[in-house]
Amino acid sequence: MSGPWEGLSRGGLEALAGALAAGRLSGPYSASGLARHLPYVELAGALAELNRLHDAGVPPAHVAEVLLAVAAERKLREKTSDRVELVWTGPEMPGSQSRETGVVARELFAKATRSVLVSSYAVFLGKEVFEPLAKRMEELPELRVLLFLNVPAPGGSDFDPDAVARDYFREFLKRNWPSGRAPELYYDPRSLAAKGDERAVIHAKCVVVDGHTALVTSANFTEAAHARNIEAGAVVHDAGFAGSLERQFTSLVTAGLLRRVVV
């Protein structure tokens, strides 16, 4: 089954169908409304088709049934054994079937065409780690890159959180990002909460490329984690999983819980 929904991942189809069936989403539709249910790269096509059906008088419940049918057909095409691959950094025994974290990350960056989402708790010697991504951004000016990093709180409690975040990302771009176009920068404001017991950190280490492939790993974006430490993870070639992971971040941005910093 193809047609106007072909650009949506299975996870996106199911999320959209659930929202329509439950009445959480109704026409006329907006990009901000759809962003709660779909990854960024899937918004435009879905928005146009949903509003076309709305203008034609098709009830949301009927649209939901169609979306579920497309999702079911999509599921039949997928093979789990081809979608998940072990990613490992560190000593390996003979017969190991895995690939190194840094190799996988560079490969994902090189194949990106529309969007890249990266989350990391720590970054060290980042220019080397991020060089393939910065190169890809120069090759594709339309490539959108979202970078979610933990901003550590300074000592004490008498500080301006916004100023701390800006200073952190200025230093990050200076020390850890190659020259050229900078990514969109995001952080969790709770990392700079006035009270220590209210603070929380971005500890997720992952990459999502084009809304259809995801790397989830214990490895931070450091040279040691990508080349020497013992780190374990998985690369998942599944649009449903990748889209769901991406929406976890972008929906928090839409809700204002994760905040963009412009430096």
> Which two three-digit tokens encode residue 24?
């959480």
Mean pLDDT of 81-108: 80
pLDDT score of 210: 95
Model confidence at 163: pLDDT above 90: yes
Mean pLDDT of 224-238: 91
Neighbours of 184 (CB within 10 A): 14
pLDDT mean across residues, the chain: 89
Helix and strand numbers, DSSP H then E, in the chain: 9, 10
Mean pLDDT of 111-127: 93
Model confidence at 18: pLDDT above 80: yes
Q: Rounded distance, CA 262 to CA 143, Å? A: 18
Decide which of 222 and 3 is more confident.
Answer: 222
Mean pLDDT of 25-46: 85
Could you write out the three-class secondary structure of 8-49?
A: CCHHHHHHHHHHHHHCCCCCCCCHHHHCCCCCHHHHHHHHHH
Mean pLDDT of 213-230: 91
pLDDT score of 198: 87
Percent of the chain with pLDDT over 70: 95
Query: Regarding beta strands 184-187 and 259-261, do their DSSP bridges make them parallel or antiparallel, or are they unpaired?
Result: antiparallel
> Which two three-digit tokens encode residue 51?
């509003």
Model confidence at 50: pLDDT above 90: yes
Decide which of 237 and 227 is more confident.
Answer: 237
Decide which of 134 and 44 is more confident.
Answer: 134
pLDDT score of 213: 95
Query: Does the predicted model carry a pTM greater than 0.75?
Result: no
> Which two three-digit tokens encode residue 115?
């969007």
Model confidence at 230: pLDDT above 60: yes
Model confidence at 34: pLDDT above 50: yes
The DSSP secondary-structure symbol of 108 reads: H
Model confidence at 84: pLDDT above 90: no
Percent of the chain with pLDDT over 90: 59
pLDDT score of 1: 43
